[in-house]
Structure 1
């Protein structure tokens, strides 16, 4: 297990991840606030009713709980993560009537094809040992008419970018090219593909045709 994955499995990080660690690092990486990211996630996934939502690598559940608040009727959100300390924090801090948590491997999701109306992974694909396999799994469980959204790393070329990429590689973080995920989405027949670049992060969304 590389340094990045060991860090994400540390109970100490789980306790401060959404309160300090993630907001600070993501603001430095993208210039965007966590509040803006959460609000845009609901809009991008078009959550407004009884959808079934899957949040991959949910960490302590802050995004998962926020997404569940946009649902009603039979809608619910499932947060899936490999880290037991993160899930323990999610259950303690972000339980709710329309949210649940599950320990699992993003590369082999324990769900049938087309189970979810919305599938997302915000800020974690670069940590997963096989991110392309994980993304294919996300697409597999997405229902016709459903939407997918991801936030992940992006290779860019400002001053010192090469040094930052070397450090990321040493820590076990992957850095993706601009075309990687748009091409993967198109390969699997997804449409309405949108990509926005904010510094060293890329935000992507797409839809599965009905």
Structure 2
């Protein structure tokens, strides 16, 4: 397990992740607040009713619970993460009537094809050992007509981008170019593909035909 994944599995990080670690690092990396990201998540996933939602690599549930607040009736958000400390923090701080948590591997999701109306992964694909496999799994469990949204790292295709990619790889972080996820989505038959880049982060969403 590389340094980045060890850090994410540390109980000490789970304790401060939601209120200090993530807001600070993501603001420095993207110039955006947690509130900005949450509003975009609800809008791009088009949450407004009884959807079944998967929040992949949910961490302590700070997005998971927020997404569940925008559902009604039988709507439900499942937060999945590999880190036991993160899931314990999620269950303690971000439980609710329309949210639940499960431990699992993003590369082999324990769900049937087409289970969810919306699937998301915000700020974690660059930590997962095989992010392309994990993304294909997200698409597999997404129902036809469903929405997918990701937030992940970004690098420019220039000398600075290549240098930062090398530096990040030392700790186990991956930086992705502009084409990786839009191309993967298109090759998987997804439509309405949109991408926005903010500094070192990219936001990509799409619809499953």
TM-score after normalising by structure 1:
0.97
Residues 157, 177 of structure 2: 8 Å contact kept: no
1:89 aligns with 2:93: no
Distance in structure 1 (CA, Å) of the matches to 2:132 and 2:144? 21
Query: Which residues of 2 match residues 37-186 of structure 1 at below 5 A?
Result: 37-156=37-156, 161-186=161-186
Once superposed, which parts of structure 1, at least 4 consecutive aligned residues long, lie more than 4 Å away? 157-163
Distance in structure 1 (CA, Å) of the matches to 2:157 and 2:28? 16
Distance in structure 1 (CA, Å) of the matches to 2:158 and 2:98? 42
Give the match for residue 18 of structure 1: 18
Distance in structure 2 (CA, Å) of the matches to 1:167 and 1:29? 15
**Distance of aligned partners of 1:34 and 1:66 in 2 relative to their CA distance in 1, 3 Å threshold:** same
Residues 30, 200 of structure 1: 8 Å contact kept: yes
Distance in structure 2 (CA, Å) of the matches to 1:129 and 1:149? 19
Q: Which runs of 5+ in 2 are unaligned?
A: none
Encode CA deviations 1:66-110: one digit per residue, 9 max, x unaligned.
000000010000000000000000000000000000000000000
Residues 56, 79 of structure 1: 8 Å contact kept: yes
Distance in structure 2 (CA, Å) of the matches to 1:155 and 1:183? 16
Distance in structure 2 (CA, Å) of the matches to 1:177 and 1:8? 23
2:66 partner SS: helix
Give the match for residue 198 of structure 1: 198
- In the TM superposition, residue 157 of structure 1 has moved relative to its aligned partner by 6.4
Distance in structure 2 (CA, Å) of the matches to 1:146 and 1:51? 9
1:121 partner SS: strand
Q: Which runs of 5+ in 1 are unaligned?
A: none
Q: What do you get for the CA RMSD once the two structures are aligned? A: 1.2
Distance in structure 1 (CA, Å) of the matches to 2:27 and 2:164? 16
